[in-house]
Structures are given as structure tokens and as C-alpha cells.
Structure 1
Amino acid sequence: PLASAAGDPLAGHAVGNLLLHGLTELLGDPVAALDHAGAMLGAVGRVLPMSRQPVGIEARVRGADPARPDEVRTVRGQHQVAVTSGTVESLRLTPAAPAACAEAVSAVRAADWLIFGPGSWYTSVLPHLLVPGLADAIVSSPARRMVTLNLVAEKETSGLSLPDHLDTLRRYLPELKVDMVLADSTAVGDPVAVERAAESLGARLVLAPVAVTDGTPRHDPAALGAALVPVLGADR
């Protein structure tokens, strides 16, 4: 059965995460575990961790307790931060400066493009910017950089506008420069504020219909791929 006991660090995680946890324990290395999982699925490409060390997430959250909307408390753990009902005011890793995965650093330095998002902003996108060695590689890489914005705010980013999403990237990695920001042409609403936020990162805004057409806030893989083709094929 899946872990569900209160306080269990695995509770609330997706089955895929539990599988990777088991493979890591079996093989003794997260890179080997990810490579093995990729081979099992016949995946094209490679998934790499940002660090080989076990890394936790802590957030300072205002209003995590609805009965105390002005109270700021520390929320620990990826799942707990992702489902918090308050406003995330700051994010940190534990340990604060984990060693970057050497394979991930090499991949970043050799890449043509670095693409941030879509994904959970505080628990999937921003943590990579908090690993010093990986952050340095991101800043110094000769690759071009793109941010793919989410379609709607998730629970962890409730109240965070699309321009705010871009502002948080600069907040956690001030040296970050971006070439392009991709957003859904409908979900973006008034593009002026998003365009200004993109320009503050050095980027131009690209709008395209990348959402599924049934009204649910999900990216359409085929539409997203079609939007990326002319962008990623642009001259350097």
C-alpha cells in the first residue's frame, strides 16, 4: 500500500516518485535510478537530479492557517509546500547549498537551450536556482534560455500573477537572463504586463495556443511542440 501515515515523508507523493525512491535505495545512486527508470519506459532523452544529496524544501508561508491569516510559519516538504493554502513569501533548500549533480551541470553547459517550466513554480522550477553549482552553470552556459509559463496559478502560487512568476525567477537568481518567454495566447490575458516582465529579464514574449481545447488548464503536448519548433530552430 502507498504511504499515508501522518508525518510519513513519502505520504502524498505520486507513484512515480515512490518508484524512483525505491530504485535509488536499490541502486544506491539517483542518477542510476533515473537512467534505469528511463530505460524501463523507453524514454528518449535523460532525466537528471539537481543534486545527488537528499534535498528538502522549506517555505515561509503567510496564512498557512486560515484562522491566522497574518501569521508567517515555516512549511516543510515538497508536498506540503505544494498544497499550502497560504502565500509563499520565501523559499529555501535544506541543506541550504547542496552540491550540484555533476552530470546535470555538464548537460546545462552543453545545452543549446535551457527551458524553465511549465511546472509547479515553487516546488519544481525555482529549486534548481537555489543549488549554487547549478545556478552558476545556468548563468554561464552559452545556451539560450526560455521560460514556458503555466496556464493558471496552482495552489502554491495562489495570488501570483504571470508577471509575478517571472519576477520570482529574477528574485532567486538576479543574474539570470532569458531570451524568450512562451505563454498561451488566451491564458495570458492582457499581455502588456507579461511583456514588460519578460523584457525585465531580457526576453521577448511569444504567444501561441498551447492549451488543450476542452477548457481544462493543461498544455497540449502537440500544440506546445508545434510552438517550440520555430522558436528552438531560431538562429542563435
Structure 2
Amino acid sequence: MGTAVVALGGGHGLSASLSALRLMTHQITAIVTVADDGGSSGRLRDELDVLPPGDLRMALSALCDDSEWGRLWRDLLQHRFTSEGDLDRHAVGNLLIVALWELLDDTVAGLDWVGKLLGARGRVLPMASVPLSIEADMVVGQDQFTVRGQSLVASTPGHVESLRLIPSDPPACAEAVDAVINADWVILGPGSWFSSVMPHLLVPQLREALLTTTAKRCLTLNLSMHGTETFGMSAADHLRALAKHAPTLRIDAILADPSAIDDADDLIAASGLLGAQVLFRQVRRGDGSARHDPLRLAAAYQDVFDRFLGDVGTVSP
């Protein structure tokens, strides 16, 4: 069956790690952020008082079976309507997931049924059982202000000083907590640092599981460090922000593409805050875009799993 891997994140970043991991093992559990408040997900969340389904849909699509059946259902889930009415920009998969939640009155069971439809190579779970909001204290120059909502946190240029969830003590998805406890490896990132990756560390029960699991922990850095919510931050600054919000978290391996790192020495120094060793691997697509190549990322993960060293340090290609 292979290595039991839990991948945490949301959106395109989580899809990237899942697209690689599905080439390595069928024992995959994706744990997905549930704070999205924009687009189709935000509209369904507001209208029906449900978890935002969009990031869950994307994770399921990334795990679909590599067959005509799986690819067709994946494309259907990802299809968006274009109209001048209420259906405009709604994704079919979002509507399907929410309909199953209403029929079954069980969030996890609904996601499992969509996974069966896709022949998914793994399981997709929400990180919490209730919809969440993200609130960030930000600084731009001399100005300090608070931004609330995942879409605003992700799109507001500035430096995030602190991050919190509303509600502050949400119930974690029990199946997600169990998956972390029983994993061989836990993968954090890539993805939007403050709105997709770090929120997992702010759900108390999930955070405790991440701190106490016997699984090894791998942090995957982004290929572009200069997104809106991380404006002006280096790769090392990403690690410092993580250490600030989760000072007792220990990471075993940090996976970084050399082409995305401006100061390798600073990154290695910052990795010490997390007790981690840095592994430099080429995982970018050949076209030079800020997207991970699934085969290269899978090879890098396999190298991390197979060649992980117990002492803190740096492993070169």
C-alpha cells in the first residue's frame, strides 16, 4: 500500500503536492483549509451555511484516477458555468459536494462518495467541522490595520504580523486528527502561506496532533516567494513566520527549489528555528513557470522519504 502520507494546505498549492504524492502511494489523506470566502465557495457558504467546498473539490480532482472515467469526472467537477444568472462562475463540483452534504447530513461521507466517483487515490477531509474566517494584523509602512477574510488576507499587500482564526477554538475534523496521528509523513505546503498553509496550525486539536504525531514532517516551500500576502518576504522569512506562530513545532525536512531561493545561507540559518534540515531539489516545471512538476516533486518527496538524515543539516543534490 505504500507510505501513509497526510498533506495539508488548500487551493493550487495542495493540488501540486497531491499530484506528486498520488504517483507514490495510495495512502494519502488531504486535509484542507475551510476558510475560503470568495467566489463560488463563498456564495454557497453564505447562502447555505456550509463549509466552502472549492478547495475540497480541487483536492479531490488532484487525486482522481488516471483513467478516462476519472479524468472525465474530474473535468466535470472543475467545470464552471458561464451565464448572466445566479449560476455564473459556480463550479459543478461545488454544487455536487454541497448536494451530497444535504442528502447525507455528513460532511466526511459526502466527500468520500465524491472520492469514490472519481476513483480517488486517497481521501480528502476538512481541517475543521465548521466554516472559519481568517483575521490578520498587517503592517504597510507606518500603517497598521486588521484584515478579515481569507480572500482579503490573500490579496492585501503588506506584512502579516499575526494571524488568527474566527472562531478561535473550532472543532477539528476527527478523521483528520486521526490521520495525522497515524501518518508516516506529514507534508505542509506549498501554497499561500498565511491563508492556506499556516491556518492548520491554529486549529487547537489539529495543532496538537501535528505536535505529537510520530510522523516525520516535511515543509515544501513555494516556487515564488513574492505573493501578495507575502510581499517582500524571503524564503527564510516564511520559516520565521511559521516559527513565530508555532514555536514548538518541529520540522524534519524542508524541500526547496534552488531557483526560488535568493539567500541559501539565510534559509539554512532560519531552518534551525524549526529543527529542520534543508534539501535542495529541482521541482519546477521545465517552462520556468512558478508551478511544480508532478514527476520532479514526486522524485524529490521519494528522496526525502528514502534518504532522510536524522541530524540537522543540508542535503545537496
- 1:142 Cα shift? 0.4
- 1:86 Cα shift? 2.7
Q: 1:17 to 1:90 in 2, by over 3 A?
A: farther
SS of the equivalent of 1:186 reads helix
- 1:161 Cα shift? 1.2
Contact 1:180 1:198 in 2 (8 A): no
Contact 2:219 2:253 in 1 (8 A): yes
What is the TM-score of this pair, normalised by structure 1?
0.86
**Where does residue 7 of structure 2 map in the other structure?**
none
Q: Report matched runs for 1:186-225 at 5 Å.
A: 186-225=259-298
Aligned residues: 228
RMSD across aligned C-alpha pairs, in angstroms? 2.6
**Where does residue 170 of structure 1 map in the other structure?**
243
Cα deviation, 1:72-114, whole Å, max 9, x if unaligned, reads 2222221221111232221110001111111111000000011
Contiguous gaps of at least 5 residues in structure 2: 1-38, 56-90, 311-317
Within the candidate set 110, 113, 127, 2:185 is matched to 113
SS of the equivalent of 1:178 reads coil
**Where does residue 125 of structure 2 map in the other structure?**
48
- 1:22 Cα shift? 4.9
What is the TM-score of this pair, normalised by structure 2?
0.66
- 1:30 Cα shift? 2.6
Q: 1:164 to 1:31 in 2, by over 3 A?
A: same
Q: 1:4 to 1:104 in 2, by over 3 A?
A: closer
Aligned mates of 2:127, 2:180 — CA distance in 1: 11
Q: 1:78 to 1:37 in 2, by over 3 A?
A: farther
Q: 1:5 to 1:127 in 2, by over 3 A?
A: closer
Question: What's the % identity of the aligned pairs?
Answer: 46
Within the candidate set 215, 231, 234, 1:158 is matched to 231
Q: 1:206 to 1:43 in 2, by over 3 A?
A: same
Residue identity in the other structure for 1:199 = G
SS of the equivalent of 1:90 reads strand
SS of the equivalent of 2:298 reads helix
Contact 1:87 1:158 in 2 (8 A): yes
Within the candidate set 118, 136, 149, 1:59 is matched to 136
Residue 150 of structure 2 is aligned to residue 90 of structure 1: no
Aligned mates of 1:62, 1:145 — CA distance in 2: 31
**Where does residue 174 of structure 2 map in the other structure?**
102
Aligned mates of 1:4, 1:135 — CA distance in 2: 25
**Where does residue 179 of structure 1 map in the other structure?**
252
Contact 2:40 2:94 in 1 (8 A): no
Aligned mates of 1:225, 1:45 — CA distance in 2: 16
Aligned mates of 2:202, 2:93 — CA distance in 1: 21
Aligned mates of 1:23, 1:155 — CA distance in 2: 35
- 1:191 Cα shift? 1.0
More helix by share: 2
Structure with the bigger RCO (C-alpha within 8 Å, sep 6+) is: 2
- 1:29 Cα shift? 3.0
